A and B are shown apart, each in its own frame.
Chain A
Amino acid sequence: MIRRCALAVWSFVVGEDWHVALAVVVTLALTALAAASGLPAWVLPPVLILGILYRSVRAGNRLAFSRAPLSGRGRER
């Protein structure tokens, strides 16, 4: 029961690509460090987040076409 709840929460928050969640945590840590050092930290999050998103969609795209080249890319809710 606890395991199922934990899996449901993980799936709800983290989703299909756990690298995104990890990279967001690292981005926020770097941003906090930059802000504490007095650097213009506001530049970091938008750039890093777009980089994280790009890496994730490229990986998703590769996966979609390696698993099902022409059809059956799985309808998902």
Chain B
Amino acid sequence: MNGAQAGLAISVFLASAVEVVEAFTIVLAVGSTRHWSSALAGVGAALAALAVIVAVAGPALVGIPIDVLRLLVGGLLLIFGLQWLRKAILRAAGAKALHDELAIFAEERAAAALAPTATGFDSYAFAIAFKAVLLEGLEVAFIVVTFGANRGEVPLAAAAAVLAVAAVVLGGLAARAPLARVPENAMKFAVGVLLTTFGVFWSAEGAGVAWPGGEVALAPLLSLILLGSLAMVRDLRRRQPVVVVAA
């Protein structure tokens, strides 16, 4: 495995792990509060829907010329990566509340307890689990398809995502609790930097850029975006209003 493949696998693994942690928390909350088999049926239905989406989108992308693909998909990945990085920088600077799995778990359990109860199949548990897995899974599918198609490494990207799902689910089953100790906010920051780096690299290639050194340019590009992002966190912290508490 070369450096670019390793970068791709790490990016997909981290991004997938973050999304699966979020979906796991919600499924655990509705499953434990309401009805496990209905929640798991929702998970299964969402996974089937995701499989159909990937099966349709994947081959459709393969037919597009590589430069057009890199420009379009790299551009989309760049916009998507900048969204992640923007939120991560704002969270790290204290301008946005940190993602808290325990709080989300408590909130979902409270909402599930208030919803009307059902005998037998629980449509509430099914719907909430379906929605959580579909929405978080769509982000994973988007990342797998874009990374895989751009590099011609769909199997590697898919394997990294499957590994992330297995790691989170096994970790969650072992803990039997929301995975609150996963450093989710730091992981989101790292994923934002990685998605933005690959997005810049591929979309620029699609626009006709020849990077000096080819894929070797990924390392300095990654360093530049990481250092730039850390500098932004520092700058935002410095700019925040100072609260003076009267004695």
Q: What is the interface of chain A, defined by CB distance below 8 A to chain B?
A: 12-17, 20-21, 24-25, 28-29, 31-32, 35-36, 41-42, 44-46, 49-50, 52-54, 56-58, 60-61, 64-65, 69-70, 73-77
Contact = CB atoms under 8 A, between A and B. Distances in A.
A61 B90 contact: yes
B247 interface: no
Interface in B63-93: 71, 75-76, 78-80, 82-83, 85-87, 89-90, 93
Interface of B: 22, 71, 75-76, 78-80, 82-83, 85-87, 89-90, 93, 95-97, 99-100, 103-104, 138-139, 142, 196, 200, 203-204, 206-212, 217, 221, 224-225, 228-229, 232, 236, 239-241, 243
Contacts of B22: 77
Contact of B96 (A42, A52, A53, A64): A64
B175 to A, nearest CB: 20
Grouping DSSP codes into helix (H, G, I), strand (E, B) and loop, the B interface class, with mixed when no group exceeds half, is helix
Most interface-central of A49, A50, A60 (chain B CB within 10 A): A49
B96 A60 contact: yes
A20 B225 CA distance: 16
A44 B209 CA distance: 10
Contacts of B236: 57-58, 61
A28 B93 CA distance: 29
Contacts of A32: 71, 207-208
B82 A24 contact: yes
A77 B87 CA distance: 10
A61 B95 contact: yes
A31 B90 contact: no
Contact of B90 (A44, A45, A64): A64
A20 B79 contact: yes
A3 to B, nearest CB: 18
A28 B76 CA distance: 11
Contacts of A57: 86, 89-90, 93, 232, 236
Nearest to B200: A45
B86 A56 contact: yes
Contact of B212 (A42, A45, A49, A50): A42
A14 B71 contact: no
Most interface-central of B87, B104, B204, B221 (chain A CB within 10 A): B204
A31 B203 CA distance: 10
Contacts of A45: 200, 203-204, 207, 209
B95 A70 contact: no
A55 to B, nearest CB: 10
